[in-house]
Every structure is written in structure tokens, then in C-alpha cells.
């Protein structure tokens, strides 16, 4: 049991470090490319796509998506959002920001749900 928790702890540390690095790089790119429609649109598409991939990987490592329903839902929501952002880009900036904003709130709530569930079962997000 202790070995499994140690492996899970190591995975979660790497996972959250990777997510933090991606987020920092994304924000830096958003600042760097602000005002440039093409790169900004690309950044708004890749973030929910990245979130879907990251949740899929983490869910699989931590017992599968059946055992992690909030992450399974987050994968679906983030994948749909990726497509919705691509469609909204063809409409207008407000549509893009509305889709992205709703997704950010929902994805954050789902991630919080995952963290609370882990805290109850493991005692923390990682040890």
C-alpha cells in the first residue's frame, strides 16, 4: 500500500508541476501574442485540449476514468470546449470569451471536486 501511495505521490507531483509549467508558458505566450488574432485563437484552442489530455492521463494513472468521474466529465467537457472554441472563433470575440469563460469555471469546479475526493481518500493531493 505504501509503495502505491509513493508512486501516486510521485506521479501527482510530476503531473501538477507539468500543468503549472504549461500554464505559465501559456500565460507568457498570451501576453507575448496579445493583439495578434491567429496566435491568440490558437492559444484559446490548445488550453482546453491540453486540459482534456492532462485529465485523461491523470485519470488513467489513478485508477481509470470510471474511478474518477469528475475527471472523466472534465475530459468530455474540455474536448467539447475545444471544438466549441474553434466554432466560436468564426463568430466573434465575445462568443469565444463566453465559451472559454464558462469552460474555465466548470473545469475548475471539476478539478476542485477531484482534489476534494483525493484529499478524502489519500489525505492530500500528494504526500
- Global pTM value: 0.84
What's the pLDDT at 127?
A: 47
> What are the grid coordinates assigned to 95, written together?
462568443
For residue 25, is pLDDT > 80? Answer: yes
Q: Average of pLDDT values for 13-21?
A: 91
**Residue-wise pLDDT tens digits, 27-78:** 999 999 988 989 999 999 999 999 999 999 999 988 889 989 999 999 999 9
Query: Between vectors from CA 87 to CA 81 and to CA 103, what angle results, nearest 5°?
Result: 20
Cβ–Cβ under 8 Å, residues 127 and 10:
no
Q: Which residue has the cell 501527482?
A: 12
Give every CB contact of residue 114 below 8 A, 6+ residues apart in sequence: 68, 70, 71, 74
Q: How far from 124 is each of 28, 33, 63, 73, CA to CA, in Å?
A: 30, 37, 17, 22
DSSP state of 88: H
Amino acid at each position: 500500500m505504501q509503495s502505491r501511495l509513493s508512486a501516486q505521490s510521485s506521479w501527482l507531483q510530476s503531473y501538477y508541476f507539468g500543468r503549472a509549467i504549461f500554464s505559465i508558458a501559456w500565460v507568457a505566450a498570451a501576453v507575448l501574442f496579445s493583439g495578434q488574432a491567429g496566435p491568440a485563437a490558437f492559444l484559446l484552442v490548445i488550453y482546453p485540449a491540453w486540459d482534456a489530455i492532462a485529465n485523461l492521463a491523470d485519470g488513467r494513472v489513478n485508477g481509470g476514468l470510471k474511478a474518477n468521474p469528475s475527471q472523466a466529465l472534465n475530459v468530455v467537457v474540455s474536448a467539447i470546449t475545444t471544438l466549441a472554441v474553434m466554432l466560436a472563433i468564426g463568430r466573434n470575440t465575445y462568443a469565444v470569451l463566453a465559451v472559454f469563460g464558462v469552460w474555465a469555471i466548470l473545469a475548475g469546479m471539476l478539478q476542485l471536486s477531484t482534489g476534494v475526493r483525493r484529499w478524502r481518500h489519500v489525505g492530500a493531493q500528494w504526500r
